[in-house]
Amino acid sequence: MHPHPASQPPLQRRSFLKWAINGMGALIAAILGIPAIAYLIDPRNRPAAQSDFRTVAKLSELKPNEPKQVVITDQRRDAWTLHPSELIGRVWLIKRDDGRVEAFSSICPHLGCSINFEEKQKLFVCPCHNGTFDLNGAKVELRGMTNPAPRGMDALEVRLVEDPSNQQDKLVQVKYEKFAPG
Amino acid sequence: MFARLAAWLEDRIALSKIRDALLLEHIPGGAKWRYVWGSCLSFVFTVQLITGVLLMTAYSPGDSTAWPSVYFIQYQMDFGWFIRGLHHFGSQAMVVLLGLHMLQVVIAGAHLPPREINWWLGLALMGVVLSLGLTGYLLPWDQKGFWATQVATNIAGSLPVLGPWVQKIIVGGPEYGHHTLTRFYALHVGILPPLLIVLLIAHVALFRRRGVTVPKDAVGEGWFWPDQAFRDMVASMAIFALLIVLVLKGHGHSTEPAASMWSYDYWAHAGRDGRGANLDAPADPSHAYPARPEWYFLFLFQMLKYFEGPYKIVGTAVVPAAVGLLLFILPLLGYGRMRPFGHAFGVIVVTALLAGAGTLTLLAVSQDTVNPLARALLVRVALYLVPITAAVLLLWLGLLALLRRGPVRAVVVGLGTLALAVLLASAGMGTYLAMATEQRFLEHKYAHVNEPFTGSVIPEPVAEWVEKDMKPEEKEEDLRAVKFQEEQVQASKLARRAVSLAGGGIPAEGALALLKRDPQTRGPELFQQNCASCHTHGNDFKVDNPTASDLAGFGSKEWILGLLRYADSPAYFGRTKLKEMGNWVRRTRSQAQKAGKEAELEQDLDAVATWLASHPRPTNPPPDDPELAGKLARGFKVFQQRCLECHTYNGEGTPQGPDLTGYGDADWLRLMIMAPDNALRYPDRNAMPAFRNLMGPGSEVTRMEFTEKSPNTKLIHLSDLDRELIIRWLLKEPQPIFGGVPIVLPEKR
């Protein structure tokens, strides 16, 4: 390596040059960096799946206190792709003794696995980490088992409307929404 | 605290030593502006790396996803247009800077021994940069990149012996498809950039080993840090600023009215205002496109034109290989006493190559230029100004090599610089003026106004100089250029349509399906194929012997009113055997004349037309506007009085003429198209064939049932999708159709 020669520019000039170089570097970094960050966090603009009230079943198909799984079909957007009619979620329906119908998202509030219904025990059980819920969707603590679910099953809005093809029956409509697990 | 952390780090990894090794480079002869090109190249390459990785986070290689993902980057993602624009224009800057760097190197004699290997590394780097340009151009999978890259791979395929085999390997099969994209993508992001980095490190390391080539007139000493670094930084900054200007100006297709310029939303989505890089219509193998490569490959494209037939290989392989070889041996000409000759020869070769490329590029542009004056100007810049500039540069450099330091040399330096600046500026200005004039000329030409073109921006003296020696055939518009520009207009129309439709979502099958299911794009084509042998549609199609009505504006109030007034005219039933309506019009009119109630009749016709144009059905919800509701109610009343004697509505009336329930809506048309002889349409005097889907499973059932029921009506195949496209186009409903393709079984093997 060459020794620092005496021809080095005066200190003042050197410090100006360094300052200018750093300044220009910072400016370029900002002009490139700020849009880059906005671009990288763009997914924040995309909404989660949800739907209006969709008909999922006829009331006559439901037996009292017996959960039935139905699917919600709706338009789904995946970035640029528009799926005009696709399965966007699964829902557990339960008809109560008084004829009311309740709906629960089948997505486990723990970490998002799909909750099953165990016929024998009359319990909802998540197959991933044994999150367990009763017929009201409430969290259940079984002896000798830990239940990692942070809350009960997520309830969805339900309404019953006239069935135009059958005056005796009603249509069950659910408004689907995706809840954040955990 | 900070100092302690720094000390801790320093103790472990000795950052300062690395920094010193990188920055404390001695520059004998001092820092110079002309040394900036290498650093600028590294800078732009860094920008390319950063923007490239950002694009990778959103790009999806694949036949049906590539275009949509680029569309999404360009038009939907925040600042996607900006990132993509920088990457797009950055690649062009790389190529320009390569040329300048190369020229500077040979002028300095920095390619001569002992720096041969570094020259070769530079050549390899140039190859990698050009390959990056070529592979990147295909990735958006738009018409432009698709067809231009085909030319490149076809050239590979035309080479003797291994050509076809190599082509198939590069393309990933016999045709362009999924694997073309995955392979080009792998090359573009996974193979070429790391190769470039390795070569670049070697290039810089070798450069540092020997240092700069000290000019013989150099005085003084300098250091890379901060003297040269400052110059490099200023030059990089200037290039970056130029890139930003190009991105902001942009040449994209604008879609929707942008939000206010003062909002975040506007700048996050400024691609919608046409800023940033262009995205052409989705690649369509069935739709030919006037292929042109990216501008920095135009000189190769132009050269191919001069070698025809059996000589094609001269343009595709012999000349490029010879040039490559020539560049390769340049440093070998610098040994011993050959050195001055080798130096001069290198300068001449590189200058000539750059000038030749410039000339060919401008000639290529001129041959696509329609305006005769602009075209002639480009030719003159290409054939006179560019070679003269190169010659002056060579003369000047030669003189400088002979002159010793002194006042004479200083004068020559000044004069030469001035002359070169003037020449370069004239060439650039001439090119710009010609291209700007052409653009204005085309806008004028396709605006179809019957006025002579006055928008030329070429100054009068220049125009006179050019016109002076224009040959007679040069003064005509070139037909090939006209054809090219017409195809360009069509292509950009399609591109704009694709981009504006994509905003509503793209089907999973890809963006091409979007255009194939767009009524506005496909409707006219389908109408021509299926309807235009009998029906006219304004003056849109040439119909030799029309035998049925004119369907332009079908179902609109104007169309219906015309029918009610002039049912006998050729535009309505005049060409058919349907006479009842015409008779009714005459009868009704003469009655009204006798009774002196003509004005009343006109009012009644207007009311009925208004009502029918609302496509009335009992199930339609009543309109919100009370005024409109009143008009419709009146129309319905008149209809009941005057029309029910021949027509039916909602089961009432006399089924002599067609049923008018929902008249002119999609359901009404569908029955008309699929069963024109149905009891609700024209059961007796129908001449129209029935259009049904006669392909795929189940069609034989349709055919069987139909021949039983309607032995007198011709049956013609029209797929369900095509039928709906025609209906939507006729009714001016612009939404594309998603899904709905009839099932087609794969052929038996």
Strand (E) or helix (H) holding B648? strand B648-649
Question: Tokens standing for B92?
Answer: 């062009």
Amino acid at B234: V
Of the given ranges (B205-219, B269-283, B337-351, B719-733), which has the lowest mean pLDDT?
B205-219
Q: What is the pLDDT of residues A115-142, one digit of tens each?
A: 999 989 899 999 999 899 999 999 988 8
3-state SS, residue A98:
coil
- The mean predicted confidence, pLDDT, of chain B is 92
Calculate how close chain A gets to B584, using CA atoms only, in Å. Answer: 42
Lowest model confidence (mean pLDDT) among B49-53, B431-435, B442-446: B442-446
* Adjacency order of strands within the sheet including A116-118: A116-118, A123-125, A132-133
pLDDT of residue B205: 94
Cα B457 to Cα B471: distance, rounded to the nearest angstrom: 22
Q: Which helix (H) or strand (E) holds B222?
A: strand B221-223
**Core vs surface per residue B355-391: b (16+ CB within 10 A) or e:** bbbbbbbbbbbbbbbbbbbbbbbbbbbbeebbeebbe
Residues of B with Cβ-Cβ distance to A41 under 8 angstroms: 78
Mean per-residue pLDDT for B491-517? Answer: 90
* Cβ neighbours of B3 (radius 10 Å): 7
Q: What's the CA gap between A166 and B438, in Å, rounded? A: 70
Q: What is the mean pLDDT of residues B672-687?
A: 91
Mean pLDDT throughout B113-120?
Answer: 95
How would you label B668-707 residue by residue, b for 16+ Cβ within 10 Å and e otherwise? bbeebbbbbbbeebbeeebbbbbbbbbeeeeeeeeeeebe
- Confidence at B472, pLDDT banded by 50, 70, 90: confident
- Per the CB < 8 A criterion, the answer to whether A55 and B268 are in contact is no
Let me know: does B611 contact B630? Beta carbons within 8 Å. Answer: no
Residue B258 has pLDDT above 90, yes or no: no
- Beta carbons within 10 angstroms of residue A99's beta carbon: 11
Contact present, B717 and B690 (Cβ < 8 Å): no
Tell me whether A77 touches chain B (CB under 8 Å): yes
Contacts of B217 (CB under 8 A, 6+ apart): B405, B409
Are B669 and B727 within 8 A, CB to CB?
yes
B188-212: average pLDDT: 95
Nearest by CB: B54 against A5, A27, A39: A39
pLDDT band at A1 (very low <50, low <70, confident <90, very high): very low
What is residue B747's predicted lDDT score, i.e. its pLDDT? Answer: 54
Which neighbouring-strand residues pair with B378?
none
**Mean pLDDT of the region B638-665:** 92
Say how far apart CA B400 and CA B409 lie, in whole Å: 7
Query: DSSP string spanning B230-298?
Result: HHHHHHHHHHHHHHHHHHHH------S----TTSHHHHHTGGGGT-SS---SBP-TTS-------GGGH
pTM, whole model, 2 decimals?
0.89
Residues in chain A with CB shorter than 8 Å from the CB of B82 are: 35, 39
More reliable by pLDDT, B382 or A143: B382
Instruction: Kindly state the average pLDDT of the residues A77-84.
Output: 89
Q: Please report which residue ranges of B113-218 form alpha helices under DSSP H.
A: 116-138, 143-158, 163-171, 178-185, 192-210
For residue B338, CA distances in Å to B327, B332, B396, B688 come to 17, 9, 21, 88
Please tell me the predicted confidence (pLDDT) of residue B709.
87
Lowest mean pLDDT among B365-379, B446-460, B660-674: B446-460
Contact partners, residue B130, CB within 8 Å, separation at least 6: B95, B296, B297
Q: Which residues contact B499 (CB under 8 A, 6 or more apart)?
A: B71, B75, B253, B255, B279
pLDDT of residue B15: 85
Are A81 and B68 within 8 A, CB to CB? yes
Q: Which residues of B touch A2 (CB under 8 A)?
A: 26
Nearest-by-Cβ selection for A81 from B79, B220, B505 = B505
Residues of chain B found within 8 Å of residue A20, distances taken between Cβ atoms: 230, 233
Cα gap A169→A173, rounded to integer Å? 13
In sequence order, the β-bridge partners of residue B223 are B26
CA angle B644, B646, B650 (to 5 degrees): 50
Of the candidates B394, B297, B396, the one whose C-alpha atom is nearest the C-alpha of residue B346 is B394
The CA distance from A83 to A77, in Å, is: 6
Average of per-residue pLDDT across B49-57: 98
Which pLDDT band, with edges at 50, 70 and 90, does A73 fall under? confident
Tell me what pLDDT residue B214 has: 83
| Residue of higher predicted confidence among B344 and B623 | B344
Paired tokens of A77? 């957007």
Cα B349 off chain centre by: 35
Task: Choose from A12, A80, A82 for mutation: most chain B CBs within 10 A.
Answer: A80
- Choice between A99 and B71, residue whose per-residue pLDDT is larger: B71
The answer to whether residue A26 neighbours chain B at the CB level (below 8 Å) is no
Structure confidence by residue, pLDDT tens digits, B138-175 = 999 999 999 999 988 998 898 888 999 999 999 999 99
Which residue in B423, B464, B281, B431 sits closest to B365, CA to CA?
A: B431
SS3 B12: helix
Among chain A residues, CA nearest to B27? A2
Q: What are phi and psi of A36, to 5 degrees?
A: -60, -40
C-beta neighbour count of B728 within 10 angstroms: 22
A20 touches chain B (CB under 8 A): yes
Burial class (CB in 10 A: 0-12, 13-18, 19+), A148: middle
% pLDDT > 70, chain B:
98
In the DSSP assignment, the letter for residue A53 is: E
H-assigned helices in B614-698: 626-642, 666-674
- Give every CB contact of residue B647 below 8 A, 6+ residues apart in sequence: B653, B654, B656, B657, B658, B659, B660
Q: What is the pLDDT of residues B594-648, one digit of tens each?
A: 998 889 999 999 999 999 999 999 888 888 899 999 999 999 999 999 999 999 9
What are B242's two structure tokens? 């130029």
pLDDT for B740: 52
Instruction: Tell me the backbone φ, ψ of residue B742, rounded to 5 degrees.
Output: -65, 155
What is residue A9's predicted lDDT score, i.e. its pLDDT?
A: 59
Please answer yes or no on whether A36 and B83 come within 8 Å at the CB atom: yes
pLDDT reading at B741 higher than 60: no
pLDDT at res. B587: 92
How confident is the model over B438-445, as a mean pLDDT? 91
* DSSP H stretches of helix in B643-698: 666-674
pLDDT band per the 50, 70, 90 thresholds, residue B197: very high
A8 touches chain B (CB under 8 A): yes
Of B645, B651, B570, B560, residue with least CA distance to B608: B560
| Structure tokens belonging to residue A99 | 């004829």
Full DSSP string of A129-164: T--EE-TTS-B---TT-----SSSPPEEEEEEEE-T
Q: Comparing C-alpha atoms, which of B329, B91, B328, B277 is closest to residue B192?
A: B91
Nearest Cα residue to B146 out of B188, B176, B189? B176
- Chain A hits for B80, Cβ within 8 Å: 39, 42
Does A87 touch chain B if contact means CB atoms closer than 8 Å? no
Q: Give residue B119's identity as a one-letter amino acid code.
A: W
Q: If you average pLDDT over every residue of chain A, what do you get?
A: 88
Q: Which residue has the tokens 């003026």?
A: B433
Does the beta-carbon distance from A21 to B226 stay under 8 Å?
Answer: yes
Residue A62 C-alpha, separation from nearest chain B C-alpha, in angstroms = 32
C-alpha–C-alpha distance, residues B492 and B253, integer Å: 8
State residue B86 phi and psi, 5-degree precision: -60, -45
User: How far is B129 from chain A, CA to nearest CA, in Å?
Assistant: 22
Statement: residue A8 has pLDDT above 70:
no
Flag whether residue A81 sits within 8 Å of chain B, measured between CB atoms. yes
Closest to A148 in 3D by CA, of A180, A182, A110: A110
- Per-residue pLDDT tens over the stretch A53-63: 989 999 999 99
> What's the rounded Cα separation, in Å, for the pair B520 and B729?
6
List, in sequence order, every beta strand (DSSP E) within chain A: 50-58, 68-78, 81-95, 101-105, 116-118, 123-125, 132-133, 155-162, 170-177
Strand partners, A86: A74
Kindly determine whether residue A80 and residue B83, on different chains, have CB atoms separated by under 8 Å.
Answer: no
Give CA–CA dist A57/A66, Å, rounded: 14
Say how far apart CA B616 and CA B643 lie, in whole Å. Answer: 14
Question: Is residue B108 pLDDT above 90, yes or no?
Answer: yes
Mind giving me the DSSP string for B300-332?
A: HHHHHTTS-GGGHHIIIIIHHHHHHHHHHHGGG
Q: What residues in chain B have their Cβ under 8 A from chain A's Cβ atoms?
A: 24, 26, 47, 50-51, 54, 57, 68-69, 71-72, 76-80, 82-83, 86, 220-223, 226-227, 229-230, 233-234, 236-237, 240, 244, 268, 502, 504-508, 738-739
Least confident of B153-157, B189-193, B370-374: B153-157
State which residue of chain B sits closest to A41, comparing Cα positions: B78
- The per-residue pLDDT for A84 is 83
Residue B546 tokens, joined: 């029309």
C-alpha B467, offset from chain centre = 33
Best residue in B50, B78, B221 for a mutation probing chain A (most A CBs within 10 Å): B78
* CA B151/CA B478 separation, integer angstroms: 23
